[in-house]
Amino acid sequence: MKISSYEEGRSNWTDLSSTDPEASKAFYSALFGWKWDAQPADENGVEYHMAVMGDAPIAGLMPQPQDQADMGVPPMWNTYLAVEDCDDCTKRAEEAGGKVVVEPMDVMDAGRMSFVMDPTGAAVGLWEKNEFTGAAIIDEPNAYTWAELITNDVERATSFYNRAVGLDTEIVEMGGPPYTTFKVGDTVVGGTMSPPMEQIPNHWHVYFGAEDCDATCETAKANGGQIVVGPLDTPVGRMATIKDPQGVAFSVIQLNEWPTE
């Protein structure tokens, strides 16, 4: 079991904006064994649901905001980066060429957040902790494991994330095209690559761990999911990309070696 640490630039949380929260809860419970903990409704009466393993928060789920649906924004998994000062970081993001989509706001006593769009069009959340740090467990089966920026301009994007949240990069060989990793200090915390197909928009893509990638894919199909890519072997493990019944894409990975710290 690896407990997530809170460092500026690390992807510390993901949540699903769903067009059918009850169906989404059923699908991901069947897939990962998650239980769900409903949080107090906000001032607009919207409930936020926390996926948990034991007592540990793993990911979140909420109804897709109506204004997003009206604009044709698809349901999606959102990625959040930990920051020390949301207001300051949001300002740095704007100065680095990003666009503020949601201005900094308090989320009750949990923390403070904003959403920005990087210069290549990928949206990402910025999270300043208060009572809530983020995912309590990462890098193990059924938990949040990897954040990956899919962008058609890796150089421009990496420059932005360095200026906005201090992420460094390193290019690694993966047996194919070079892959760029994001780093906080000496720790690799995510990656970025060009889209494998032209029609894929720039976005942050999430990975969850799998004890058995093939078995997870079969469970996904049995519960209304669609296998988009794989399962296939990579230098770091066996992986697949799945769409849930609402059409939301995510990936699962069975790592060759799970982190122990």
CA distance 123 to 33: 28
How much is the pLDDT for 191? 95
CA distance 12 to 146: 10
pTM of the complete model:
0.93
CA distance 217 to 210: 10
Fold of 144-255: 2,3-Dihydroxybiphenyl 1,2-Dioxygenase; domain 1 (3.10.180)
Q: Write the pLDDT tens digit of every residue in 176-207.
A: 777 999 999 989 999 999 876 667 889 999 99
Contact 49/95 with Cβ under 8 angstroms?
no
Amino acid at 9: G
In angstroms and rounded to an integer, the radius of gyration of the C-alpha atoms of the chain is: 17
- Positions in the chain short of pLDDT 50: none
Of 237, 168, 248, 244, nearest in space to 205 by CA: 248
Burial 39-70, CB ≥16 within 10 A → b, else e: beeeeeeeebbbbbbeeebbbbbbbbeeeeee
How much is the pLDDT for 221? 98
In the chain, list all ranges with CATH 3.10.180.10: 11-129, 144-255
For the 11-129 domain, the top CATH level (class) is alpha beta
CA distance 33 to 47: 21
